[in-house]
């Protein structure tokens, strides 16, 4: 995670961002601290990437890379205003012993890539280039499932889909092209389908450890659906981050463990 010390909306690179809507910095920091404390309370270790002046979106750590085990594909941001975030992530991961491949194609890390137990769901349409999918396959040697995003409100995969465990996702089907909807329905027949209202508070921008699902406090119907599916919803208010089109997942780069032999079998 990366503290929102410099978080602000100075420009607009997605439909959520409006520089005329000021960010309450103190509230954003308090919400971020609560999110971090929530992960720690659930038993997770949180590493911190130092924020850098002039990079107001660096709080959205999920966009900086995609990591499984000791390998990572670094990010290459489409928007120049975020370009300097990528080397900061590469440096941190390299110091942590992770071998980072620097990409050729544009990709925005876990913003568009989701680890789904031995396969990677890979979004494209607004930010990440479809050519990045071949780079993913080469780095991680697992199947990559391409998914086309079609609604600019859901400009990253992680705004429209959350992986809850190897067999379960939650998603908002209208965010995807018809062919991608068919792929997801086939792969995940018991998926949780989110309402538009919950999608629009970025309720799907969530983090699951396979039991607990940390999600936006405002996504109440989604939380109920998650509970009915056997998971434990953990609501957290990150509404200040929503002013930049971000949420729980955007603020969280997961360091995924590779599958064990037992999980593969």
Q: Which residues are catalytic?
A: 156, 250
| Beta-carbon count within 10 A of 259 CB | 16
Helix (H, G, I), strand (E, B) or coil at 9: coil
Residue whose C-alpha is closest to residue 255's, from 50, 83, 48: 48
Residue whose C-alpha is closest to residue 74's, from 112, 123, 108, 46: 108
> With left for phi above 0 and alpha for psi between -120 and 50, is residue 90 left, alpha or beta?
alpha
Contact in structure between 101 and 94 (CB atoms under 8 Å) = no
Give the integer Cα–Cα distance in Å for 13 and 118: 32
Helix (H, G, I), strand (E, B) or coil at 153: helix
Beta strands at 65-68 and 71-74: parallel, antiparallel or unpaired: antiparallel
DSSP state letter for 157: G
Helix (H, G, I), strand (E, B) or coil at 212: strand
Residue 2 backbone phi and psi in degrees, to 5: -135, 120
| Beta-carbon count within 10 A of 46 CB | 12
């Amino acid at each position: 995670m990366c503290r929102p010390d410099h978080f602000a909306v100075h420009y607009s690179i997605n439909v959520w961002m409006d520089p005329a809507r000021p960010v309450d910095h103190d509230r954003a920091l308090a919400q971020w601290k609560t999110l971090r404390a929530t992960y720690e309370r659930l038993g997770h270790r949180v590493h911190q990437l130092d924020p850098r002046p002039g990079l107001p979106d660096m709080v959205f750590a999920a966009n900086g890379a995609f990591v499984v085990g000791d390998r990572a594909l670094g990010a290459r941001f489409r928007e120049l205003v975020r370009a300097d975030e990528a080397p900061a992530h590469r440096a941190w991961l390299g110091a942590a012993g992770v071998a980072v491949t620097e990409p050729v194609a544009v990709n925005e890390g876990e913003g568009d890539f989701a680890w789904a137990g031995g396969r990677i769901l890979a979004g494209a349409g607004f930010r990440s280039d479809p050519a990045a999918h071949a780079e993913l396959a080469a780095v991680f040697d697992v199947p990559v499932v391409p998914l086309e995003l079609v609604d600019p409100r859901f400009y990253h995969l992680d705004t429209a889909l959350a992986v809850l465990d190897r067999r379960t996702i939650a998603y908002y089907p209208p965010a995807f092209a018809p062919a991608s909807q068919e792929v997801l329905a086939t792969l995940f027949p018991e998926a949780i389908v989110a309402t538009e209202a919950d999608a629009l508070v970025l309720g799907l921008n969530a983090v699951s450890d396979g039991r607990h699902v940390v999600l936006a406090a405002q996504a109440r119907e989604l939380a109920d659906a998650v509970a009915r599916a056997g998971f434990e919803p953990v609501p957290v208010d990150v509404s200040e981050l929503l002013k930049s089109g971000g949420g729980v997942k955007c603020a969280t780069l997961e360091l995924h463990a590779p599958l064990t032999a037992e999980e593969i079998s």
